[in-house]
Chain A
Amino acid sequence: MRPRSPLHPYLMLAPTALVFGLFFLYPLALALHHSFYAWDLLTPPTYVGLRNYRSLISSGELAGTVGRTLSYSAVVVSLSVTLGLALAVALDRPGRLYAFVRASVFSAYVVSWVAVALLWMWILDADAGLLTVVLRKLHLPTRSWLGDPDVALTTLALVSVWKITGYSMVIFLAGLQDVPRSLHEAAALDGAGPWQRFFHVTWPTLRPSAAFVGTTSLILSFQAFDVVRVMTQGGPVKATTIFVYAIYEDVFVNLRVGRASALIVVFFALLLGLTGLQLWAFRRASGARKGTA
C-alpha cells in the first residue's frame, strides 16, 4: 500500500531504528574500536593496535575459553536435544496428566536461571546436599560436584540440560503435529514396529525441527552466563570460565575493557559462524524433506 505521506514509514520505524542503532549496531562498532585500545575505565584509553588479540592468543586464554565453551555446549546440546526428542515422542499423548507433565518439564525453561542454579547448588552441596546424602547412604562414591575442576563444567552443563530440555521438547512437539496420522496408521498396518515407524515416518518430518533446535540451542549455550556466575564464578581454577563469563570477568573484575572487547569481537564472529551453520543445516534438512516427499 502507498503510505499517506512519504514520511510516514520512516516515522513509524524511527523509534525501533533508534533503539537498534544505539543499543545493537553502534555497540558492535564500539567493541571493535575498543579492541584496539588498552583501557581500565579509570584512565584514558591508549591505542595498542593488535596487542589485545595477540596476547589473547599467545597466553592461551582464547584457546582455553573456546575449548571450555565448546565442551560445555557439546554436552548441553547433545543431551538436551536427544532428551527433548525422547520426551516429545513419549509425552505426545492426549489427557490432562500428560499435559501436566509436559508443562512441568517446560516450566524449568521459564523459571529464572538464578532459581535453577541455587536449587541445584543445594541438591549438589558437598556436605548436606540431597544427592550427596543419598549417594553416601547407598555407599556410592561422591565428590564435590562444583569444587572439583575435572567435573565442575560437566555439572554446570547437566544443570543447563535440566533447564532447557523443555525448550527442545516443545519445538519437537510442535514438529510432531506435522506428522500425518494416516501415515502412521498405514505403516502400522504394514506391520512396522514402533522403532521402524519412528525412523521411517516420524524422524523424516522432524528433521527440520531437529536442525532448528540443535542450532538454536548451540547458539544459546554459547551465551550461557548466569549458571556460571551463580554456581562457580568461573572456578575452580578457571575450569568453568566460558566465553561470556570470561568477558564479564575481564571488564568487571580485571578492568581490562580492551581485552574484553577483543574477546567480544571473536565471540561475535563465532556466533555469526554458528548462524551460518544454522542456515546451512536448516536448508539441508528441509531440502532433504522435500526430496523424500
Chain B
Amino acid sequence: MIERGHRGRAALSTLVLVVVALLWLGPYAWMTLTSLRTLPEIIAAPAYPLPSSFQLGAYREVLESVPVGRYFLNTLAMALTIAFLQMALALPAGYALAKLHFVGKRAAFALVLACLLIPAQVTFVPVFTMLGAAGLVNTFGALVLPFGASALGTFLVRQALLSVPDEIIEAARMDGAGELTIIYGLLAPMIRPTLASLFLFSFVFHYSDYFWPLVMTTDDSVRTLPLAVALLREQGTGVRWHIVMAGNVMLSVPVLVVFAVAQRQILRAVTARA
C-alpha cells in the first residue's frame, strides 16, 4: 500500500513537472523555432515544429530593416544609467534615514513610502506635458531622470544600513574619513548584496520596459529595443511571424542571460518587500 502510494505520488510529481515545463518553456521553444523558419515553410505547415533546415534569414532581415545595434545600445545605456543613478542616490539618502538624527526625519521617511504608491502609470501624462514644456521630450533625459531615484531602492538601502553598527561609522569618523568616503567607500561594500539586487532588478525592469519609452519618445535617435520589436509587427503586413519572433529572440536573450547568471540577486529584490 505505502509502496504504491509513494510510486503514485512520484509519478504525479513527474507529471506536474513535465506539464509545467511544457507550459512555460514550450512558448520560448516555439518562438525560437519559428524564428529559424522561412515564410513559405510557415504558410505551408504553420504548426509543424521543426524547420527543414535552420535558416537565419529572419535575423538577417531584422538586422537590415531595423538599426538593432543602436536600439540595443540605447536600451543598455538607459537601463544602466537608471540602475546606477538609483544606487548612487539611494546610498546617501538611505544613510541619512537609517543613521542620522535630524528634524523632519519621520516626514522624509514617510515621503519615501508615499512615493512607493505612485506608479509611472499615474504620473506619465503630467510628466509628459512638463517635459514637453521644457523641450525634453525625445531626449535621453526624459527616459532616465524620472527614474533617477527609486523609493523601493531608498527603502531597501535604509533597511540594510540599519543593521550596520554605529561604532563602525564612528571609528571611520575618528580616522578622519569624510561622510562621502564613509557612504561610498565603507558602507556601500558592506551592503553589497542589497545593492547588487537593487541594481540588477532595476536594470532588468528598465531594459524590458515598453511603457515609458513609448510615451516619451517619437524619435528614432532615443528609441529602445522593446519599441522597435513591437514595431516589427505593426509594420508587417500579413504573416511575417518568423521576423517578429527573430526580433523577440534578440530582445529576450540578453535579459534571460542576466537572469540565469544573477537569479538569486533578482529574486532577493522581488521578495524583499514581502
Binding site for B on A (CB under 8 A): 1-4, 6, 8-13, 15-20, 23-28, 30-31, 34, 41, 87, 90-91, 93, 97-98, 101, 103-115, 117-123, 125, 127-130, 133-134, 137, 162, 166-167, 170-171, 174-175, 209, 212-213, 216, 223, 225-226, 229-230, 244, 247-248, 251-252, 257, 260-261, 264, 267-268, 271-272, 275
Chain A interface secondary structure, helix, strand, loop or mixed? helix
Contact of A4 among B123, B130, B179, B267 (CB under 8 A): B179
Binding site for A on B (CB under 8 A): 13, 16-17, 20-21, 23-25, 27-28, 30-31, 34, 42-43, 46-47, 89-90, 92-93, 95-97, 99-102, 105, 108, 111-112, 115, 117-119, 121-130, 132, 145-146, 148-149, 151, 154, 166, 169-170, 173, 179, 183, 204, 207-211, 214-215, 226-227, 229-230, 233, 239, 241, 244-245, 247-248, 251-252, 255-256, 259-260, 263, 266-267, 270-271, 273-274
In the bound complex, residues from chain A placing their C-beta under 8 Å from that of B260 are 103
CB pair A13 B93 closer than 8 Å: yes
Q: A20-B149, A170-B267 are in contact. Are A28 and B169 (CB under 8 A)?
A: no
In the bound complex, residues from chain A placing their C-beta under 8 Å from that of B111 are 17, 20
Contact of B119 among A8, A18, A223, A226 (CB under 8 A): A223
When chains A and B are docked, how far (Å) is the Cα of A103 from the Cα of B146?
A: 31
In the bound complex, residues from chain A placing their C-beta under 8 Å from that of B92 are 11-13, 15-16
When chains A and B are docked, how far (Å) is the Cα of A251 from the Cα of B214?
A: 13
User: How many contacting A-B pairs (Cβ < 8 A)?
Assistant: 260
When chains A and B are docked, how far (Å) is the Cα of A225 from the Cα of B146?
A: 19
CB pair A105 B24 closer than 8 Å: yes
Contact of B169 among A1, A31, A107 (CB under 8 A): A1
Contact of B123 among A28, A130, A272 (CB under 8 A): A28
CB pair A28 B118 closer than 8 Å: yes
